[in-house]
Amino acid sequence: MSQQSPSTLSVGQKKEVSQDAQTFAQKALARAAGCESVEVGEVVDVRPDVVLSHDNTAAIREIWQQFGQELVVIPERLAITLDHAVPPPTTRHAQNHAEIRSFVQEQGIRHFFEVGRGICHQVLSEEALVLPGQTILGADSHTPHFGWLGAFGAGIGRSEVAALWATGELWLRVPESIRIVLEGELPKGVTAKDFALRIIGDWGADGGLYTSVEFSGSGIGVLSIDSRMALANMMAEFGAKSAYVPPDGKTRSYLEAGLERRAAREKDGGTAEEASPSVAESQLFPDDGAAYLATYRYSAFELEPTVSCPHTVDNVSPLSAVAGTAVQQAFIGTCTNGRLEDIAEAAEIVEGRQVAAGTRLLVIPASSLVLQEAMNRGYIQALVAAGAAIGTPGCGPCMGNHMGVPATGEVTISSANRNFRGRMGTTDAEIYLASPAVVAASAVAGRIADPRDVM
């Protein structure tokens, strides 16, 4: 835990709490369970709108085969992305992908995304496969990501996904909720990632354990969609079951563009309309006076660039405390921070400069759309000119499969979400987590550096 003290804290403002007022999590799970309302702590059987899996789909299929079914009962609700080790680094990985493709074919899965399309959370967001108020359960711990659009997203295990394929439903306990309020606008050089790291540093990696983390406040409304995604995504490292950002006009226009993309993709294969209720109709908002375990309030102007030090995400320090630490590798990418805004910031910082000798900069866009747009705007050209290596959209070295595994004793500064020992594939290597701006500034300096000094 960091030494910083939280800005202000007010726990359980009892007088405002009303009996019937509901949190977002209660409303979303009541909808998913087909009930009028649900109580916190109640266990309900939910029918998720979308079930996510990725490179782990072949392993899930093996479990599912034990049920003796020929066809999964909810093919239209499955979304499968090849992203974790793409293109496959070994024959075994390639074999794994081949098994997944044959499963997709035999089951007639429409929402399947090939090698190079991008990371599951980003791709499903771009394709508007999940809408506000809906529930997505994913065989991936960063499924709280979908809180960016006001959906209930939770990570589950492989056996649970197999059970969903077989039955369409799964039990969930209705979680308690924590409210986090951000007021004001983030200063230049300070990002949603810094805010997320600050929250985790203040309250610990288990500070949000089992809870739905529900954001609100003027500071959330002014965040871009890319930043909202980074924030909700990082709540997995806070122990949260799900996250929630209230949908607004920005959310709706992003999703409407996605629905058009989805309709175009499905033109031959199916009917986008059937799965596309109006975005506005499905939105859910927590009631005033809903009961929260705690309310944490932050002022945006008090936040600063923040770094998470080896080997736990909650080992957080202000950037100034670790500035100067030499880095051999700088990595910008992942479902947390591989989006257009992130690459734009990095490009702005490296433009006209060179990556320091003795340091390598690796940039892996989170999706093919991000890569295309980053090329259109000249960001990729600027990064390559500065000496960056660009990878295929996907997870890259985030979990140590390939494409950027550090050597023993090396230090990486990364825009990812986890810095656990061995996370990037090497036991004795150090990982610092920071915003893409800090990573880019550090790549140029060859040591951990403050982006505000070069912006």
Partner 1 sequence: MIRGRAWKYGDNVNTDVLFPGKYTYTAKGRDEIASHALEDLDPAFASDVRVGDLIVGGRNFGCGSSREQAATCLVYSGVGAVVAESFARIFYRNAINNGLLVIVCPEAAQAIQGQEDVSVDLERRTIDCASGSFGFPPMSATVQEILEAGGLVEQVKRRLASTRLSD
Site residues (vs partner 1, CB under 8 A): 43, 55-56, 58-59, 63, 66-69, 84-85, 90, 92-93, 96, 138-141, 155-160, 162-163, 166-167, 171, 173, 204-206, 209-210, 239, 241, 312, 314, 399-401, 418, 420-423, 425, 427
3-class SS of residue 161: helix
Which amino acid does the sequence have at 452?
Answer: R
Binding track, positions 108-137, relative to ligand SF4; x by CB under 6 A:
-----------x------------------
Q: Please indicate if the annotation marks 35 as binding a ligand.
A: no
Please tell me the count of residues contacting ligand SF4 according to CB under 6 A. 11
Provide the minimum distance between the beta carbon of 250 and ligand SF4 in the complex, in angstroms, as a whole number: 23
Determine the Cα–Cα distance for residues 197 and 120; give it in Å rounded to an integer: 23
Residue 193 or 418 having the CB closest to partner 1:
418
DSSP conformation class of 238: G
Provide the minimum distance between the beta carbon of 50 and ligand SF4 in the complex, in angstroms, as a whole number: 15
Interaction between residue 57 and ligand SF4 (CB under 6 A): no
By CB under 6 A, the residues from 415 to 434 that bind ligand SF4 are: 416-417
What distances in angstroms separate CA 29 from CA 32, 34, 89, 137, 243, one per listed residue? 5, 8, 40, 12, 13
Provide the minimum distance between the beta carbon of 239 and partner 1 in the complex, in angstroms, as a whole number: 6
Residue 121 or 447 having the CB closest to partner 1:
121
DSSP conformation class of 7: S
Binding track, positions 72-101, relative to ligand SF4; x by CB under 6 A:
------------x-----------------
CA 418 to chain centre: 12
DSSP conformation class of 367: B
Residue 57 or 227 having the CB closest to partner 1:
57
Phi, psi (5° rounding) for residue 120? -45, -50
Interaction between residue 55 and ligand SF4 (CB under 6 A): no
CA proximity to 52, closest of 132, 129, 117, 107: 129
Residue 73 or 257 having the CB closest to partner 1:
73
Residue 85 or 371 having the CB closest to partner 1:
85
Considering only the stretches 216-224, 238-246, 263-271, 394-402, report the one whose residues sit in contact with ligand SF4 under the rule CB under 6 A: 394-402
Which amino acid does the sequence have at 320?
Answer: S
Provide the minimum distance between the beta carbon of 246 and partner 1 in the complex, in angstroms, as a whole number: 24
By CB under 6 A, the residues from 233 to 292 that bind ligand SF4 are: none
Contact 337, 96 (CB under 8 A): no
Interaction between residue 399 and ligand SF4 (CB under 6 A): yes
Contact 362, 337 (CB under 8 A): no
Q: Please indicate if the annotation marks 398 as binding a ligand.
A: yes
Residue 150 or 397 having the CB closest to partner 1:
397
Determine the Cα–Cα distance for residues 412 and 326; give it in Å rounded to an integer: 9
How far apart are the two ends of the chain, measured CA to CA in Å? Answer: 29
Interaction between residue 205 and ligand SF4 (CB under 6 A): no
- What residues form DSSP beta bridges with 362? 331, 389
CB atoms within 10 A of CB 175: 24
CA 103 to chain centre: 26
Provide the minimum distance between the beta carbon of 394 and ligand SF4 in the complex, in angstroms, as a whole number: 7
Angle, nearest 10°, between helix axes 340-350 and 368-376? 40
Find where tokens 């089992």 sit.
210
Determine the Cα–Cα distance for residues 455 and 441; give it in Å rounded to an integer: 9
Contact 340, 226 (CB under 8 A): yes
Provide the minimum distance between the beta carbon of 38 and partner 1 in the complex, in angstroms, as a whole number: 14
Provide the minimum distance between the beta carbon of 92 and partner 1 in the complex, in angstroms, as a whole number: 4
> Residue 171: which of ligand SF4, partner 1, none does it interact with, CB under 5 to 8 A by kind?
partner 1
CA proximity to 258, closest of 130, 132, 126, 134: 126
Provide the minimum distance between the beta carbon of 110 and partner 1 in the complex, in angstroms, as a whole number: 23
Using the CB atoms, write b or e for 30-53: b if 16+ within 10 Å.
bbbbeeeebebeeebebbbbbbbb
> Residue 119: which of partner 1, ligand SF4, none does it interact with, CB under 5 to 8 A by kind?
ligand SF4
CB atoms within 10 A of CB 346: 32
Residues 6+ apart with CB under 8 A from 240: 144, 178, 208, 209, 211, 212, 213
Residue 210 or 301 having the CB closest to partner 1:
210
Interaction between residue 405 and ligand SF4 (CB under 6 A): no
Phi, psi (5° rounding) for residue 13? -70, 85
Provide the minimum distance between the beta carbon of 83 and ligand SF4 in the complex, in angstroms, as a whole number: 6
Residue 83 or 226 having the CB closest to partner 1:
83
Q: Enumerate binding residues for ligand SF4 (CB under 6 A).
A: 84, 119, 140, 142, 334-335, 395, 398-399, 416-417
Q: Which segments are annotated as binding site for [4Fe-4S] cluster?
A: 335, 395, 398
Q: Which segments are annotated as binding site?
A: 335, 395, 398
